[in-house]
Structure 1
Amino acid sequence: MPRTFTRIIVPSLVGLLLTGLAAVGVAGLLDIKLPFQTRTVDRSQPVLLKSIEELSEYHAAVGNFEVVIDDAKDVDFLPDFVAGERSLFVAAGTVDAYVDFSGLAHGDLTVSEDGKSATIRLPKAKLAKPNLDQKRTYLFSKERGVINRLGDAMSTDSQQALYVKAEDKLSAAAKESGLTEQADKNTRAILARMFQAMGMTLTFIEGDPE
């Protein structure tokens, strides 16, 4: 390339670059939107309040659980690379244990005549529905045979079955964890402190009413 041509081209390129940078800087200072920029538009509908429910539950304990679901679907007489699929699904969430005070029947709570003591028969703690943590729940991997991949191209991939299975497993784990027993213990402790603050002694009655 001749030197004269090089002397013309190089300054021109530098000038264009500086002009572009200057335009971007000016646009930023003046809050001018440059063309062809990607932007995110939230067109979600407003949140609708469907109902308000009164709660009489004391959530006394919460368990944190995590499980890896290995879900496989095999097809008889066909190897996995031809037909079938296998999914590894990581699920994490919490399960609350609560005592429903609306279950208190007539006579379950009695107060002495002098107001210095009381007796109470509490309902047993129950387990709430698992609450999956969406930030820690995800599909780790999915392997599919050739036939399944062709079928997926013509259908919408749904992970609903995996979410349902994850909730079932978290519920089963919560039942075996002793979470309800801990909730019963915590509820008694908080009620005893509340009555003690009122200058009363609280006694818990075991078993069902006669």
Structure 2
Amino acid sequence: MTRKLLISIPAGGALLEGMLELPATPIGVVLFAHGSGSSRFSPRNNQVAAELRDGGIATLLLDLLTPEEDAAYRNRFDIDVLAARLHAAASWLGTEPLTAPLPLGLFGASTGAAAALRVAADSGTGIAAVVSRGGRPDLAGTALAHVIAPTLLIVGGEDGQVVDLNREAYEALGCEKALEIVPGATHLFEEPGALEQVADLACSWFVRHFEP
């Protein structure tokens, strides 16, 4: 039976609201970094999170920006702020008794992928694995070269320039890495079966790298 906890995490003067869900015997926990204009209620990320929990992985979906901050479009691309908030959430998971013993993974979408990779580049965070869905990993900049966590980049084959940006970011990563291009999928993976492919790829990646 899944345990659900509504939590609040203080971060840089903001209070981040989120939902922590834990299956009976989790093998790890994945922290979601939502993309520009999205939130913890994102149907796409919630669909992926549900499959992760079916695979025995706990999930934390939270808003990295307050509603007031998100109303200003520029904040959605402030990778420094997003990464700092995500770092605070990762630190919280490392002290919360229910999740502290578990390996930690990051799942980033859109600009959230850049924030996830910035956090993963900090060796002190101990990130076990990273997955990017339709992300902008290129916005992580020079941090890409310092990521040591195994990283999977997933991008839709019809996502235009984002495909090229993911290929460039892939080349800049020096860690264990993979790039999966989902044929026929656009940026939001709205095509039939596309998001299911994303969830399957992400679940397999996390399970493999959470195993002792």
What TM-score range do you get, normalising by the shorter chain?
Answer: under 0.3
For the pair shown, which has the larger CA radius of gyration, 1 or 2? 1
Relative contact order, higher structure (CA 8 A, sep 6+) = 1
TM-score, reference length from structure 1 = 0.27
Q: Higher helix share goes to which structure? A: 2
Q: TM-score, normalised by structure 2?
A: 0.27
